[in-house]
Amino acid sequence: MARSALPAAPPAEDDSGASLVSFVVDSIVDGVMRGRYVPGQRLIAADLAEDYGVSRAPVREALHMLAGEGVVELVANRGARIRRLSVAELVDFLEFTEAICVLGVRLATSRMGQEEPRAEVIRHYDAVEEAWARRHARDFVVALYQYHIALNRIGGNRFLEFFYERPYIRFYTLLLADLVPGFNWDKYIDNYRLIHATILSGDSHTAVVHFASHIRWVLSNMRRSEAPA
C-alpha cells in the first residue's frame, strides 16, 4: 500500500488569535501523522524553532503539551522524542480501545433510528470504502478512525468524543496501521462491512458482539506476529 509524506504547512502568516504554541503543536501532530516525525525520533527545540520560524519558548511549551498528551516523551536533560511503542504496548492499546469503541458502537447503534445520525454514519463509512478501493493503508486507517469518531459523536458521550479525538489516540491508531505487514486486510474490511451493516440495523447487542469479535481477531493476529519480532 502507498504512503504519503508531504512537508508540513508553512509557518503561518497572520493567523492572529491562534497562539504560536498551538501552531507548533498542530504542526508536530501533523508531522507525525504524515510520517515526517517517526517514533523515537529526537525533537530538538532549536531546530523546530527554526523550522517553524518561532523562538524556543513556544516550542518547549508545545513539546510539554504533547508530552501531556502522550505523543512525545520527555527525559530530563535529554529533551524530547516522539513516543515509541512496542508491539506489546500496541496490543494493550488495541485491547484498551476495544473497550472504548464498544461503548461508542453501542451508544451510536441505538440512535440509528434517527435520520441525521444514520446519514452521517453512512457518509463516513463510504469514505472508508473509498479509501479501501484506493488501497491506501494510511487513508484507510484514518477513514476508519473518522468513522469511529462519528460513532462516538453520535453516541452522545462527550467524554468519549473528547477522548477519542486526542492526538495520542490518532497517533497510536496510526502506528497500528504500520504494524503486522502480512496482515489479512481483506478479512479486516469484511469484518467492518458486517459491523457497519449491523450498526445500521440498530441492533446494539449484535453490533457490539461483531465489533468485539473483530478486535479479538485483530489481537490474535498481532499476538501471533509478536513472537518472531
- Where on the chain is the footprint of its own copies (CB under 8 A)? 17-19, 21-22, 57, 60-62, 64-70, 76-77, 88-89, 92-93, 95-96, 99-100, 102-103, 157-160, 162-163
21 near DNA, rule: CB under 7 A: yes
28 near DNA, rule: CB under 7 A: no
Nearest to 69 by CA among 170, 167, 160, 164: 167
88 near DNA, rule: CB under 7 A: no
List, in sequence order, every beta strand (DSSP E) within the chain. 42-43, 72-75, 79-82
68 CB burial (10 A radius; 0-12, 13-18, 19+): exposed
Beta carbon nearer to its own copies, 93 or 188:
93
Residue 66 interacting partner from its own copies, DNA, none (CB closer than 5 to 8 Å by kind): its own copies
Angle at 73 between CA 72 and CA 74, to 5 degrees: 120
Torsion of CA 65, 45, 38, 126, to 10 degrees: 50
Beta carbon nearer to DNA, 61 or 226:
61
Residue 92 interacting partner from its own copies, DNA, none (CB closer than 5 to 8 Å by kind): its own copies
Q: How far is the CB of 158 from DNA (least distance, A)?
A: 24
Q: Which of 8, 33, 45, 189 binds DNA (CB under 7 A)?
A: 45
